Chain A
Amino acid sequence: MIWQALTLQLGYNAALVALGSAALGIAAGAVGGFLYLRKRSLVSDAISHATLPGLALAFMVMVALGGEGRFLPGLMLGSALSAGIGLWLVGRMTARTRLPQDAAIGAILSTFFGAGIVLLTIVQTMQAGRQAGLEGFLLGSTAGMLRADALIIAAGGAAVLAAVLALRRPLLMVAFDEGYAQVNGIGVARMDAALMALVLAVTVVGLKIVGLILIVALLIIPAVAARFWSERALHVVMLSGLFGGLAGYGGAALSATAPALPTGPIVVLLGFALFAVSLLVAPSRGLLAAALRHRRLQSRVHLRQGLLALSRGEPVYEAMTRRMLRRAGLTRPDGQPTEAGRAETARIRLDEARWQALRRSDTLTDLSSRDDGLTLIDSVLTADQLAALDTTLAPRGAT
């Protein structure tokens, strides 16, 4: 069953939804990547919650005009309008008042959502509203989706993805370096507006599948996960798109296999699994790597400092340092250096003396920024430079 789902053999609609959701996931991941690099991830939370009043109002208007309240394009238009107003208000509040952005986001999110709930209770008392199923937009539902709706979602996902691809260069430049982008004639404000429009589009297209409470996850989680793997903006965005696509596709496919597997939560949890793996095992920023690096750094620092103290005939102050020296076989239990310890001490003392000579020299002094206490000078200088430096060394013992 799962295999069939993943290979799109569960019917035309399910396949369409899975493909649409994959396209949406890629687009959301990439857009979210830009959003994260611009440090605006949670704006998406305000946008998604702010869709609710528009959704309900659009339903009421369409019914009042004698139409079908559930007409998806109409609902999407309404939600886009109210989310747009919410976004505009967040911007105005942050710019014109002393409110910080997070408070503006929270205020808009809760107020619009509250108003949306009020409108929903009105919809529920309308004759046409009872079976409207607008609540489905809270958590998303793909069960029993109309063919036309599935087509709209697939097309919408593809359209957003195309827009992201078209705008990738200027977006990347703004995310990478605002000033540089400005100099190159890219309007930062315009690109930010374009980015917000993309976020809005992702949200509106994703409402039906993932639901408005969880759509933010698709914009945030893949980006945060991707950031662990790379320091380069382009790679982060690409990887984020990949993660988003995997989550979107896998989530939609899995949820088609059983009725009790709602699409939105499955998509989000798949994304979270990718995040958790990234957090733990990513090579440089991951937790395991960081913990290992910290331990290694700590032991290098303590060993070096211990040897330094020994070479100056000073006491080794810290118990941890003494323990590490002993464990490395550099000191005996009584604190006196072993044969190996004496050799190491001499090496460290020479290195220290050379760094000092380098700092004092006229020609090599710029390289002193490479001295972090742990880098051996042999790895910084060429053999010739080292030899020249050594001629300026004070006689042994005077350091």
Chain B
Amino acid sequence: MGFEFVALSLPPMVIGTLAAIACALPGNFLLLRRQSLIGDAISHVVLPGIVVAFLLTGVISTLPMMLGAAGAALVAVLAIEAIRRFGRVEPGAAMGVVFTAMFAGGVLLLEQSDTSSVHLDVEHALYGNLESLIWLDAVGWASLVDPSALSLLPPELFRMAGVTVLVAAVVALFWRPFVLATFDEGFARSLGLPTGLIGLAIATLAALAAVAAFDAVGSIIVIAMFICPPAAARMMTDRLGAQVAWSLGFATLSAVLGYVMAGYGPLWLGRTDAVSAAGMIATVSGAVLLLATLLGPHRKHP
């Protein structure tokens, strides 16, 4: 079991967990700002972003695709804000207009261009390829202390880890202004805080997490992790610090449990084929939320 687990299951599990954490962190603020669905919007516009990047560069490689996705996410966030403010459109509807139109544009571009030869399709963007992020050079637990083997870990792992650390660092550094601007915007403005910029920064963090995560784990996890762990955590406590801690715990639990259930669950049930890990992780996070809404000590309005 040791070799197989370390080589085949550990890397995707760790990557899934990192992705879940990177999304859940800004998700806490999105939840309190009533912007949870911005995660939904961002994860939809990742597709047109990577398609445009592919059409511009002609190659499937990570950096341009991530840049394209990030650019699309930023365009979407700005467009939503502009339509909301200048068109006086309700925020939910503004989101709906922007992400569906951009997603449709992405699908159309994909169909129009000859991408059949390359691995670029809608389903990949949705489900990711978590199961394929394996560590062939591992020979067992001992590989975890073997530098030469470690250097051959899937690159997604390092990328995801880097983004997770970055997101966590920004949230930690700007914790006070983020909380202030989210709780009481007028008061924050009276202190001279740039509340518009803070809102944009939070959305940008979310976009960063989403873009880093989609490549490894697909959009479904991204949407689920923005919302379900923070929402479940809100049911557990009335303090923001504790809420964030709970949400990270729930995100980790969902990622690990979801991965195990997707990979091993069907085998235990006597079937031969594993099911989508990304889908299962999202499902588990929803089940966690369901339990929290039924049992959480702070589930109700005071």
Per-residue interface assignment for chain A, residues 257 to 296, with 1 indicating a CB less than 8 Å from any chain B CB and 0 otherwise: 0001110111011011001000100000101001000000
Contact of A97 with B92 in the complex, beta carbons under 8 Å? no
Chain A residues near B97 (CB-CB < 8 A): 217, 220-221, 224, 272, 275
Contact of B96 with A217 in the complex, beta carbons under 8 Å? yes
Interface class of chain A by DSSP: helix
Most buried by B among A104, A105, A106, A121: A106
Q: Which of B105, B271, B276 touches A265 (beta carbons < 8 Å)?
A: B105
Q: Name the CB-closest residue of A to B105.
A: A269
Contact of A117 with B279 in the complex, beta carbons under 8 Å? yes
Q: Please provide the chain B residues from 201 to 226 with a CB less than 8 Å away from any CB of chain A in the complex.
A: 220-221, 223-224, 226
Q: State A228–B88 Cα separation when bound (angstroms).
A: 9
Binds A, one of B70-78, B107-115, B167-175: B107-115
Chain B residues near A93 (CB-CB < 8 A): 293
Q: State A106–B224 Cα separation when bound (angstroms).
A: 7
A357 at the interface (CB under 8 A from B): no
Per-residue interface assignment for chain B, residues 21 to 53, with 1 indicating a CB less than 8 Å from any chain A CB and 0 otherwise: 000000000010011110110001000000000
Given A42-B92, A106-B39, A287-B87, is A118 in contact with B101 using a C-beta cutoff of 8 Å?
no
Range, interface on chain B: 35 or more
A227 at the interface (CB under 8 A from B): yes
Q: Which of B39, B89, B283 touches A114 (beta carbons < 8 Å)?
A: B283
Q: Please provide the chain A residues from 70 to 113 with a CB less than 8 Å away from any CB of chain B in the complex.
A: 93, 96-100, 102-113
Chain A residues near B276 (CB-CB < 8 A): 117-118, 120-121
B181 at the interface (CB under 8 A from A): no
A10 at the interface (CB under 8 A from B): no
Contact of B36 with A103 in the complex, beta carbons under 8 Å? yes
Contact of A42 with B96 in the complex, beta carbons under 8 Å? yes
Contact of A98 with B301 in the complex, beta carbons under 8 Å? yes
Chain B residues near A264 (CB-CB < 8 A): 104, 107
Q: Name the CB-closest residue of A to B302.
A: A98
Q: Interface residues of A, CB < 8 Å — how many?
A: 61
A116 at the interface (CB under 8 A from B): yes
Contact of A121 with B279 in the complex, beta carbons under 8 Å? yes
B188 shortest CB reach to chain A, Å: 20
Q: Which of B123, B220, B293 touches A135 (beta carbons < 8 Å)?
A: B123
Chain A residues near B221 (CB-CB < 8 A): 114
Q: Which B residues fall within an 8 A CB radius of A?
A: 31, 34-37, 39-40, 44, 83, 86-90, 92-97, 100-101, 103-105, 107-108, 111-112, 122-123, 126-127, 220-221, 223-224, 226-228, 231, 234-235, 262, 271-276, 278-283, 285-287, 289, 293, 298-301
10 pairs, A vs B, C-beta closer than 8 Å: A41-B93, A106-B39, A110-B220, A117-B276, A120-B279, A122-B273, A264-B107, A268-B100, A275-B97, A290-B86
* Further contacts, 19 of them, CB under 8 A, given A114-B282, A262-B107: A36-B90, A39-B90, A96-B299, A98-B234, A103-B31, A103-B227, A110-B227, A111-B287, A114-B221, A115-B279, A138-B122, A213-B100, A221-B100, A224-B94, A224-B96, A228-B87, A265-B107, A272-B101, A290-B86
